[in-house]
Amino acid sequence: MTDFPLLIADHGAVRLITVNRPDKLNALNAATLDALHEAFRAAAADDTVRVVVLTGAGPKAFVAGADIAEMNTLTPVQGRDFALRGQRMMRFVEKMPKPVIGMVNGFALGGGLELAMCCHLRVAADTAKVGQPEINLGLIPGFGGTQRLLRLAGRAATLELCLVGAPIDAQRAHALGIVNRVVPAAELEAETMKLAGQLANAAPLALRGSLDCINVGGECGIEEGLEYEAAQFGLMFATQDMREGTAAFLERRKPAFQGT
């Protein structure tokens, strides 16, 4: 499938969504935000899709940021609406019932880092650079950057990235917990798709239960989180996948999960 400003392709149970504005370093304008929201809605609803990989077209950028030319014309009310538009899309991705992997192939700056951070996992090329440079435009992050960066990297790193505005390399991003893995640029796609394939073969309902528990636990107290976890754990005993997984373990064979 091809839908400008996105390229969408299925590789078995893995859906690859590519932001396709390489001449603009894949900058996020309103149309691209809406297209991404619709693409993730479609992936969430498609039972043949078990994992989503998100990346940017071309060798230079994952997403270099929001579209500055479009933002330059906005009024204060329109600016707030633009921020909410991006936040709604990224919140949907964060709460997806299927794993989403950000394949960070170059610059992930401003809105690009915010887009990467809403993914569940991030694999970065060793040549990638990430940052929140909005301060250099007289702006602040608007798509959730201050909040997700705080949760991933902590207060000190968030203050540095947002107040100084300088990008950091993939190695430091990994040390701070902003990305999960750093691989040679030439191996980025192969390594990311390998990880996606591993997740695609895992039990879909258990993946969803883990995602739900982690999302809930990140936004509530530990007692509520533990109670939610126990309830989700119990629900797994109603699934055929749990019976298959435990039987396969006892029979010393690989399980064949069906998502039921």
User: CATH code at 40?
Assistant: 3.90.226.10
From 38, 94, 134, 224, active-site residue: 134
Q: Within this chain, do residues 30 and 86 fall inside the same structural domain, yes or no?
A: yes
From 114, 187, 244, 251, active-site residue: 114
Is 135 a domain residue?
yes
Q: Are 106 and 125 spatial neighbours (Cβ–Cβ below 8 Å)? A: yes
The domain total for the chain is 2
Structural domain of 152: 2-200
Q: Within this chain, do residues 245 and 136 fall inside the same structural domain, yes or no?
A: no
Is 139 a domain residue?
yes
Tell me phi and psi for residue 110, to 5 degrees: 55, -120
Q: Within this chain, do residues 175 and 208 fall inside the same structural domain, yes or no?
A: no
Q: Within this chain, do residues 193 and 227 fall inside the same structural domain, yes or no?
A: no
Q: Within this chain, do residues 213 and 104 fall inside the same structural domain, yes or no?
A: no
d(CA 213, CA 192): 24
Q: Is residue 134 annotated as part of the catalytic site, yes or no?
A: yes
Reported pTM: 0.94
Q: Is residue 219 annotated as part of the catalytic site, yes or no?
A: no
Q: Within this chain, do residues 72 and 90 fall inside the same structural domain, yes or no?
A: yes
Q: Within this chain, do residues 58 and 107 fall inside the same structural domain, yes or no?
A: yes
Per-residue pLDDT of the chain (260 residues; tens, 9 = 90+): 444 799 999 999 999 999 999 999 999 999 999 999 999 999 999 999 999 999 999 989 999 999 999 999 999 999 999 999 999 999 999 999 999 999 999 999 999 999 999 999 999 999 999 999 999 999 999 999 999 999 999 999 999 999 999 999 999 999 999 999 999 999 999 999 999 999 999 999 999 999 999 999 999 999 999 999 999 999 999 999 999 999 999 999 999 999 89
